[in-house]
Amino acid sequence: MLSAFFSSFLSAWWPLRNKPNVLMLHFNDMKKDHEGTVQKIAAHCGFTPTAEQWPKVMEYTSFKWMKEHSVAFEAANLAPVPVMAEGTMIRKGESGKANEDGMTPEISAVIRAHMDKYVDDPVAVAWAYAGGPIPAD
């Protein structure tokens, strides 16, 4: 189940969150500040786009552009067997719209149970649900 995978992934990476070679980002934070998030990624990778490059970087990292070119980002292309039908989007790309994406109280309870089972740090769980600044160790 994907929620168990994500929970164990978070549990494994959370202790490394402040290492200089690790950059943890949250979807909600990216949606609130797309440009700032892309700047963080560029700085982390040691890349400084020129003023001429920056508009294209912002365009190519936008949800709109990725959705228009979705075939390059679909899970079906990431595995040797199709995972999802072509054109399928897991999310609409909007924060706070989980209910519109099909999240039910039952699904939410299963995800929360996996978080409680695999992630023993309540700060990590809070960050996983809401994003925000990464706390220091």
Residues 67, 3, 130: CA angle, nearest 5 degrees: 70
pTM of the predicted structure, to 2 decimals:
0.69
Residue type, 20: P
Closest C-alpha to 41, from 55, 52, 30, 53: 30
CA distance 93 to 30: 10
125's enclosing H/E stretch is: helix 122-130
- % of the chain beyond a pLDDT of 90: 33
Q: What are the structural domain ranges in the chain?
A: 2-16+25-130
Q: Which of 30-34, 48-52, 76-80 has the highest mean pLDDT?
A: 48-52
Give the model's confidence band at 128: pLDDT under 50 very low, under 70 low, under 90 confident, else very high: confident
